[in-house]
Amino acid sequence: MFDHPDFDGHEEVLYCTDESVGLHAIIAIHDTTLGPAAGGCRMHPYDSAADALTDVLRLSKGMTYKNSIAGLELGGGKCVIIADPASPQKPELLRAFSSFVQRLNGRFWTAIDVGVGPADADTLAEQCDFIFANASRYEPGFNPSQFTALGGFSSLLGAVAHVFGSDELAGRRVAIQGLGATGFNLARHLHDTGAELVVADVRDDAVADIVKQFGATAVAADEIHCQEVDVFAPCAMGAVLNDETIPEIRAQIVCGMANNQLAEDRHGEMLRSRGITYVPDYLANCGGVTGAAPVIYTESTADEIDSRIRGLRERTMDVLARADAENRPSSQVADAIAQERIAAKV
Ligand code: NAI
């Protein structure tokens, strides 16, 4: 463990097994300097426990940075359950797993992630007091991904204001890659403010829906990154900013909610040297945790949550202004800001 390439001084890594239901899971608590660790629960049929460990070590560190840049009084952690989310055993696995979270007695709070939705989080919450973003906290039909999309939209406004001197979106063109929970809701916000949309998804029905509802222009999935637009918004998978795609990007801004958009850290510098303004992914997508997680340490009204998420516009402008002033990639500046907040608390 201590020699693992992704081990980063994690405070605690717990292996959780309950053979009565076939549970194999790992909880990683990366850093609790700013507050209790908070991060989603992923269910995925990893090929090996080693793959699951790599994922949870990286994801939990990512949550430390995301919660820090979001200005939350929360540290970073994450958990993974090694199972197929389509398994009929899912409720039993979630219930068994929740007892391990309960035993941590509030040092770690968990929520939704890939393979675990808001209704599943309600199953986790049946016997555990340390669950957030579960369905029953919200009006029926509300999905906390809408917080994420509002945050991504707010970050995009900040980036547009930074680059063009005004956040007026009417007439601006935005290319959205991926039209799922985050991409669809981003499209809705953009359409409401008069932006023109260019969209792609590997699901034809998702594309047809957006074309019909918002008058978007559809393009091929492998051409969405090189459209003649003002903003490219990756909202699907990771590693989309790489040696092949970056030279082809024609947008002045990249701002989307997909996780881990840079294939490697050096691609932050590659974007900068091409004059492309990049909003670091964990800043653009921290609206979800900003909206859902403060329940851990404070009570907020819906208006307070809304204005906190919309505040990501200013936070984004601050990060981009500092990146320009220091002549550094925004991805490095975001990391530095996240680390400074933690260092100031130590
Ligand atoms: P989703 O699964 O609802 O939507 C993803 C969409 O991308 C799907 O419609 C899928 O068909 C499409 N897609 C997959 N491969 C594609 C490709 N090669 N080209 C074009 N489209 C493709 O996922 P969601 O929730 O919208 O998440 C998107 C990204 O945002 C992920 O990286 C996720 O980790 C990240 N994220 C999501 C949060 C949330 O609250 N939902 C929070 C933070 C990050």
pLDDT per residue, tens digit, the chain (346 aa), is 899 999 999 999 999 999 999 999 999 999 999 999 999 999 999 999 999 999 999 999 999 999 999 999 999 999 999 999 999 999 999 999 999 999 999 999 999 999 999 999 999 999 999 999 999 999 999 999 999 999 999 999 999 999 999 999 999 999 999 999 999 999 999 999 999 999 999 999 999 999 999 999 999 999 999 999 999 999 999 999 999 999 999 999 999 999 999 999 999 999 999 999 999 999 999 999 999 999 999 999 999 999 999 999 999 999 999 999 999 999 999 999 999 999 999 8
Residue 180: per-residue pLDDT: 94
Residue that finishes a domain, picked among 98, 114, 136: 136
**CATH number, domain with residue 295:** 3.40.50.720
**Residue entry with tokens 């599943």:** 120
Token pair recorded at residue 234? 């990756």
Same domain flag for 209 and 91: no
Same domain flag for 186 and 103: no
Is 38 inside a domain boundary?
Answer: yes
Cβ of residue 245 lying under 6 Å from some atom of ligand 1: no
Could you tell me the distance, in angstroms and rounded to a whole number, from the CA of residue 259 to the centre of ligand 1? Answer: 9
Is 1 inside a domain boundary?
Answer: no
Cβ of residue 201 lying under 6 Å from some atom of ligand 1: yes
Same domain flag for 119 and 199: no
Residue that finishes a domain, picked among 92, 108, 136: 136
DSSP string of 71-90, one letter each residue: T-S-EEEEEEEES-TT-TTH
Is 309 inside a domain boundary?
Answer: yes
Residue 302: per-residue pLDDT: 93
Residue 346: per-residue pLDDT: 81
Same domain flag for 191 and 121: no
Same domain flag for 227 and 123: no
Is 98 inside a domain boundary?
Answer: yes
Range of the domain at 173: 145-345
Same domain flag for 98 and 34: yes
Same domain flag for 224 and 286: yes
**Is 78 one of the catalytic residues?**
yes
Is 4 inside a domain boundary?
Answer: no
Token pair recorded at residue 51? 């793959």
Same domain flag for 102 and 40: yes
Same domain flag for 40 and 161: no
Q: Which atom of ligand 1 is nearest to the CA of 147?
A: 40
Q: Nearest-CA neighbor of 23 among 99, 86, 77?
A: 99
Q: Whose CA is nearest to atom 8 of ligand 1?
A: 180
Cβ of residue 305 lying under 6 Å from some atom of ligand 1: no
Cβ of residue 183 lying under 6 Å from some atom of ligand 1: yes
Task: Count up the domains in the chain and report the number.
Answer: 2
Could you tell me the distance, in angstroms and rounded to a whole number, from the CA of residue 2 to the centre of ligand 1? Answer: 32
Q: List strand residue ranges (DSSP E) for the chain, in order.
A: 12-18, 23-31, 37-44, 75-82, 108-111, 173-177, 196-200, 217-218, 231-234, 253-254, 277-278
Same domain flag for 235 and 283: yes
DSSP letter (8 states) at residue 204: H
Cβ of residue 223 lying under 6 Å from some atom of ligand 1: no
Same domain flag for 116 and 186: no
Q: 15-18 long-range contacts, Cβ below 8 Å, gap at least 24? A: 16/97, 16/100, 18/96, 18/97, 18/99
Same domain flag for 304 and 252: yes
Predicted TM-score of the model (pTM): 0.95
